[in-house]
Amino acid sequence: MFIDLFPPLLWSILLTLAVVPIATKLAVRFQLIDRPNSAPHKVHQFPVPKSGGIALSVVLFILVLASGNAANSEIRGILLSSLIIIIFGLWDDARRLSARWKLLGQVLATGVLIWQGVYIRFTGLSIPNMLLTAFWMIGITNAFNLVDSMDGLAPGLAGIASAFFMLVTLDARQDALAYLSAVLLGSSNAIIYYNLNPAKIFLGDLGAQFLGFVLAALAIAYTPPGLPQPSSWFVPILLLGVPIFDTTLVFFSRLRRGKAVHEAGLDHSYHRLVKLGIPPSRAVFTLHLAAIILGCLAFLALSQPPLLANTLFGLALLIGLIALIWLDRKVA
């Protein structure tokens, strides 16, 4: 029942609001600071502590472990594998790791997740399933890291995705996953309080990768009631559609222009909307609204016959492709 998720939702909000100041002091103490003009895409005017990810991960572990949900094998796998993301994320925030080292951390974390039995079962063959899992986990983890390009954007997208994952996992009677989603929803919303423009804290690489990794793992663990995974494969794609769209746009746009695809830049969806004349706050709202619409579409599709559900997904995919081509050609 939804009412059962109100306590973890409330506790995650309150605990995150309380933990952030402590995490911020630690970030300042250990120089986990994002400094202005330290890279071309960093346009903030004052040093900002990268403490959001510390608070998010601490609160999630405290509440999930205290609830006893870690006894669930899927939750245990998500927690164990995310520890590697936390370690490499902290390391990255402190020392600015190269793309190769970041990828190593993500591969190791994905390996632990698969070892714990959380992986895509799209085919009857183990190796293709594991390769698909690695592609999905690493892709979504990096998508959230890349989309974290404006104050409030990434935690807002994570909160919206978490809300819909909470609904669909409740419908699937996967109570442990619904609990995890509720905690992530509350924590993400609380982080927004500190992360809205002008941001008092940033997520850091730890926070952005942690959100992406946990949500990607949730998507794999989620099993629709009475439906095999191949017939509902589009639901997680829709719930995480905005980060996927943004990463796809940046990847092919840079590839077409001969630019490095792994470096940070000012060519993401948000930046392009601003260049079109949309105020920054409205650009963030536009992307959040798109995520809500895709989430509603995914939730609606679950109750439809397979043909209609896949048709709805196909239409969403077509609209996304048109938007991608238009944004790429309209705004460089």
The CA-atom distances, in angstroms, between 65 and each of 8, 13, 61, 68, 179 are 12, 17, 6, 5, 11
pLDDT given at position 197:
81
Arithmetic mean of pLDDT, 22-44: 78
Residue identified by tokens 């709805």 is 312
Q: Give a three-class secondary structure readout of 66-89.
A: HHCHHHCHHHHHHHHHHHHHHHHH
Closest Cα partner for 93 from 55, 58, 61, 53? 53
- Residue 268, helix vs strand vs coil: coil
Q: How confident is the model at residue 42 (pLDDT cuts 50, 70, 90)?
A: low
Q: What single DSSP character describes residue 304?
A: S
Whether 275 shows a pLDDT value over 80: the answer reads yes
| Residue 231's pLDDT band (cuts 50, 70, 90) | low
pLDDT at 131 over 60: yes
| Domain enclosing residue 74, as ranges | 2-330
- What pLDDT does 10 receive? 96
Are 237 and 316 a contacting pair, CB within 8 Å? no
Instruction: Give the 3-state secondary structure of residue 37.
Output: coil
Residue 261 is classified by DSSP as S
What do you get for the CA distance between the two ends of the chain, in Å?
47
CA distance 93 to 31: 9
CB 271 within 8 A of CB 149: yes
Q: Which of 190, 279, 289, 189 is nearest to 242 (CA)?
A: 289
Give the model's pLDDT for residue 256: 84
pLDDT number for residue 265:
74
Q: Are 210 and 89 in contact (CB under 8 A)?
A: yes
- Kindly report the pTM of this predicted structure: 0.94
Q: How many structural domains does the chain have?
A: 1
Neighbours of 324 (CB within 10 A): 17
Q: What is the average pLDDT score of the chain?
A: 91
Is the Cβ–Cβ distance between 15 and 23 less than 8 Å? no
Least confident window among 104-108, 129-133, 196-200, 271-275: 196-200
Distance, in Å, from the CA atom of 256 to the CA atom of 238, rounded to the nearest integer, reads: 26
CA-CA distance, 298 to 235, in Å (whole number)? 5
What residue has token string 């890291």? 145
pLDDT digits (tens, 9 = 90+) for 75-119: 999 999 999 999 999 999 999 899 999 999 999 999 999 999 999
Q: Which residue has the higher pLDDT, 73 or 330?
A: 73
Q: Which residue reads 């183990």 in tokens?
A: 126
**pLDDT at site 41:** 52
Report, as an integer, the average pLDDT of 26-33.
92
